[in-house]
Structures are given as C-alpha cells and as structure tokens.
Amino acid sequence: MTQQFQHDVLVIGSGAAGLSLALNLPSDVRVAVLSKGDLHNGSTFWAQGGVAAVLDDTDTVQSHVEDTLNAGGGLCHEDAVRFTVEHSREAIEWLIAQGVPFTRDDSSEHDDGHFEYHLTREGGHSHRRIIHAADATGAAIFTALLEQARQRPNIELLEQRVAVDLITERRLGLSGDRCLGAYVLDRRSGEVDTFGARFTIVATGGAAKVYLYTSNPDGACGDGIAMAWRAGCRVANLEFNQFHPTCLYHPQAKSFLVTEALRGEGAILKLPNGDRFMPRFDPRGELAPRDIVARAIDHEMKRLGVDCVYLDISHKPAEFVKAHFPTVYERCLTFGIDITRQPIPVVPAAHYTCGGVMVDQQGRTDVPGLYAIGETSFTGLHGANRMASNSLLECFVYGRSAAADIIAQLPSTPMPEQLPRWDASQVTDSDEDVIIAHNWDELRRFMWDYVGIVRTTKRLQRAQHRVRLLLDEIDEFYSNYKVSRDLIELRNLAQVAELMIRSAMERKESRGLHYTLDYPLMLDEAVDTVLDPNTAV
C-alpha cells in the first residue's frame, strides 16, 4: 500500500549539500532527507582532497577568486565566485563547529596555544588553501554531519528511497508552476509513496555515471538534473564534464580516485619508460588544471597505445607518504602496489559535472518552491573547468544560503493540500530487465567513445542519434512496467546524456573541459550554453 508523507522541507540527496541545508534549518522545521541507497553511498563520503577556502593570513579572497576565474576558461560568473569565496571561512568555521576533525599542522604553534590546520595545495591554486582531514576529507565531513543530523529529532533520514519525479502544480493540471513535493520509490516495499512539502531540494550529485569509466559511486546518475528538467527548469553548461586525471588503473579497483593532493605534494606523472611528460604540455607541470592534465594523459596513452600512465611519489620519505595519504597507501597496498616504493598506474575517468540546474545565489531554480544545490546545480562558480576542491565549498556555502532563504519564506508558505497518489494501475511487473541492462551498457559506452575527453562533430552526431533511439525505448518501457531503481536511473541518465550531447553540439569552440577537433580554437566571447525545456528543439 502506498503511503503519503508531509514535511516542511524535502531534501532529495543525503550528501554534503543536502545535510548542510538540513542542519542549517531551525529545530522546529520538519525535514525529510532521502538517500536512494545506504546513507554512505554518495560522492561526499569518497571525496579525498579537501575544501578550498581562504584561511591563511598570506592568502586573500581576491587571489582565490582570480585562481578560480583563470581555471574556469572565461565562463565563471564572477559574482558567484566572489559570493562563494567570501563565505568560505564561515563555512569552514561552521564545519569545525559540527565536529569535523580537520588535520592540524603540528609544526607551528601560536602564542595562544592553538595549532593551525594543515593546508595543502592543488592544481590551479596559487596558495596552500585546501583544508583537509588527511586524505579522507569527505568521509570525515560526512560522518560529522550525519552524526549531527541523527541528533536532531526534526530531521528524518530515510534510506533506500529513490525519487521518481517531482510533483508540480503544472503536472497536476493546476494553475501555477510551484513544486509540491515528489513521488518516491520505497525499495523495500516496491511501492511509490507521495511526499508533500512546502519546499523541495534536489541535492542528488552529478551525472558522471553516464560514462563507462568514472570515479563516482554507482548512484551518480543525474537524477536531480533530469527531474528538474522534466519539471520545467533550465539547465546550463552540461557539455563541461570534468575527467579526473588520476584514477587507479587496476581490474579490481572499481572507481578509486587517487587524490590530486599527491601532485600537490610533489608526485610526478611518468610514461611507462619512466619519462616525465607534463612539462611538455604546460609550464605548471603536474599542477596544471585538471582538463589540461587529463588531455595530456589521454594524448600520451593514445600516442603510445598504452593502457595507463604512472603517478610516482616514491621519491618522498615513506613516513611522509603514509602520514599524508593513508587511504591511498592502504588501498593501493591491497592491490600489491606500495606507493612508497613504486609508481601508481592511473587513467583519467569521468569525475564531476560542471553544469547543471540553473540557480541563483539562494539555490532557487526556475520552479517556485524547488531548490538545487551541490553538483546538481549550476551556480556559475565552475565555468568551463572546476578548480580543485571548490566543489565541497560550493555545497556548504549554497546549502547554508538556501536554508536561510527557506527560513525567510516559511511563515508565508502553506503546506500543499492532499496530493494524488502514484497510479500504477496500468503497468505490470517486467520480465524483460535484460533490456535495462543492455541499454545502460550501450549508453555508457557510446558516451565514453563519442562524448569523452576529445570530441568531434561526427562523434557527437552519432551519440545524439543513438541517445534519441534509447530515450524512445526507455519511455515505452517506463510506460508499461513498474518502476525500479535501475529503470529510474536509466531514464534519468539517458535524459542527462541527451542534454550533454545537445550542449556539446551547440558549442562551436574548444574551451576548458570541452575539446573538439573540429573547433580547436577558443572564441573571443565566452557564452553559457543554456537549454530550456519550455522551448521546442
């Protein structure tokens, strides 16, 4: 039997952005936080590097702003960059107050007896400004925030809940466009429940699972982007998909990212013969922005016909490596790789979705009552290439900003009236799940081959043709069979893939993460790629 729920705020997604927003709401606001798997399955938990923020007296807001603008290939919105950086210190102070155990720098002690936090440096940054918890920052942040959320009786944490679609006034045939909640699959019962809410937030992360090789966990399927698009929200800059240059290359090492902080501490990229190659591509070498490093690795792999390159930090003292990178050290050791003595085999993999649902500085989308925060959103911060460790910062700054906006609107926003239940009377159980598995595999393979690190118009046209056929097949399947997590994710992933391809085809230049052999030069004017669901293709 389907159930109906009502909350003041419905948060779809249980990562850094969603939990930050929930924890910044007053204790008398009823909040539901949905996780489509176990709470620990999101990208936040696996983030290694850290959070970029202006914390040291030698650093400045202007320097952080300029570094971000330079990395963004001319497409960053300076107001969004400045807004984010200006609120970086208070975001970090809030995290420390929540109990996040950032690594301290024991080498220097102030007169007042307090130790400074250790700051590292990553690609594109001109200063050491990455605060971290060893090399498992995401796990430390997530664990602290989750513990805080569990202590708040007004926050209900619901696992194994997969959002199917947003409920809007327009969907129900009412006048207006306001978001009223969402239909949500309870994986335990197999039923689709109805969640009504005064405010709904999509904080579901990115869509890197659209690619065959990715550093992301299995749930990164672009759910929030696809749902918001179907609800009437514009999306922007989805052609900019960041490929992390260094993921562990090993048949059993599923989606393990080798943190950029290794390069920040002196790790060197080498060819199989031991030669260093990054200085040939950029004077900054291994500390060049990620798009440059990923393309350089891709170029060398294709030029030499090799499966991987190597990241070497073995020239550093063993104790230094173990102390600063315990997670990478232990994980590599399980595969027989001692990083204190030998290089790490690495390949690029899809890592971060720089575009997303268009929002303002409060996280508000085009649809009243609907917010998007974190990797799901497009704030203008990242431009054509996200600078390292700005992503977690964005989660906290915009999570707090959206919470403040919701608080201001709560007194004047009524609870939605009883919403219609999910209608499954015209569908049956599927006996053809092989179709889902086949379409899933085909989608991710042609996205990797045709819409990857290096693109051409012909490849994009082929991808567009295939994705539209897939969308038709998926829509027919969706209309006739009961929903499952696999079907919901495939539907969303195919929709976001189509938006990525369409965005890439519209950009007739190479800029940042979008590199095409047919238009290798960058145009003089930097313009966002904006797609509107209310405009016919």
C-alpha distances (whole Å) from 304 to each of 271, 273, 307 are 9, 11, 9
Q: What's the helix, strand, coil split of the chain in %, to 5?
A: 40, 20, 40
C-alpha distances (whole Å) from 398 to each of 14, 359, 406, 500 are 15, 10, 12, 24
Question: Where in the sequence numbering do the catalytic residues fall?
Answer: 290
SS3 of residue 333 by DSSP: helix
- φ, ψ dihedrals at 450, nearest 5°: -105, -25
Distance CA 8, CA 416 (A): 10
Distance CA 115, CA 105 (A): 6
Which residue in this structure is represented by tokens 């330079």? 70
Distance CA 177, CA 7 (A): 19
Structure tokens that stand for 296 in this block: 């350089």
> How far is Cα of residue 301 from the mean position of the Cα atoms in its chain?
26
Which residue in this structure is represented by tokens 């016919």? 536
Structure tokens that stand for 437 in this block: 């598995």
Identity (one letter) of the amino acid at 190?
G
Q: How is residue 421 annotated by DSSP?
A: P
Residues facing 194 on adjacent strands: 4, 183
DSSP 499-514: HHHHHHHH--S-BTTB
Distance CA 513, CA 507 (A): 12
Distance CA 220, CA 208 (A): 6
* Cα distance from N-terminal residue to C-terminal residue, the chain: 40
Q: Are 385 and 76 in contact (CB under 8 A)?
A: no
Distance CA 174, CA 177 (A): 8
